[in-house]
Structure 1
Amino acid sequence: MILEGFYEVSNTALAGDDAITTLKVNKDHDIYRGHFPGRPVTPGVVLMQLFKEDAERIFDKKLQLVRADNVKFTAVFDPTQDNELILESNLTETGEFIKLRGVAKNKNGIVLKISSLFKAC
């Protein structure tokens, strides 16, 4: 975990190539002191990192991002409003590569859409 204490995994459900992981984000984490004081916003790169860490947990492998396509941030994720974040992923493993298509959402809707490629390292 790159940001110690940033989140806890509440649940992960796997069905074939699909995964749904529910995270509880720590609204009091230090990252929000600088991003932004009084109006916490989860940085986009952190949201992307959550997908990587989820895939690493699922496959029990360290991964390196090779490519990120179609990354679309569609809303702000403010953990003081709702600290539950759901990662819905389709994960396809081919040799040393893992292709991920994912959506991060909370009770208000979609926060991030992403397609990415990882390599096992």
Structure 2
Amino acid sequence: MKNTLLDNFYQEISTNFSDENKLDFKCQIHFNAEHEIYKGHFPQIPIVPGVCLTQIIKEILMEKLQKELILVNGDNIKFLAMINPKENPDMELSFTVKINENTLDVSANYSHGGTTYTKFKGKFSVLE
């Protein structure tokens, strides 16, 4: 499993993930405010792209659960506030996961300092 954004775009600082709480866990992540993507999104005021926020959710799930995943349905993705990595480089990412046969129903939220920045609800298929 290859994470394409890990260690360059963001890194996981800490987590409470374990076998006992693999369906409801949190991670602390840190965005690299100097990443190339911000030269185009946007040079004066960098904003973490929504597609990257979704990819991070997938990558963390793949790493934690040791399964190859593909997003098959983004039922409800809400970008409530922009994430500027120069102002708020650290975010808490909380997960609630329901495992079905070959799918995961996932709710995830990005938050910092009492503010929720992104809410995600979707379904991932497990690739064999």
Q: Could you say which TM-score interval applies, normalised by the shorter chain?
A: over 0.9
> Contact 2:97–2:107 (CA<8 Å) still a contact in 1?
yes
Structure with more of its chain in strand, by fraction:
1
2:72 matches 1:63 = no
2:92 matches 1:86 = yes
Residue in structure 1 matched with residue 83 of structure 2 by the alignment = 77
Q: How many residues align?
A: 121
> Contact 1:91–1:100 (CA<8 Å) still a contact in 2?
yes
> Contact 1:82–1:107 (CA<8 Å) still a contact in 2?
no
Whole-angstrom CA distance in 2 between matches of 1:21 and 1:57: 12
2:14 matches 1:8 = no
Whole-angstrom CA distance in 2 between matches of 1:7 and 1:66: 24
Identity %: 28
Superposition map of 1:95-114 within 5 A: 95-107=101-113, 109-114=115-120
Shift of 1:2: 2.1
- Structure 1 spans left out of the alignment, 5+ residues: none
Shift of 1:85: 1.4
Shift of 1:3: 2.6
Q: What do you get for the CA RMSD once the two structures are aligned? A: 1.3
The one-letter code sitting in structure 1 at the alignment partner of 2:47 is V
2:26 matches 1:30 = no
TM score, norm. by length of structure 2:
0.89
Which string of whole-angstrom CA distances, capped at 9 and with x for unpartnered residues, describes residues 42-100 of structure 1? 11111111111111111111100010111110000001001001110101111111110
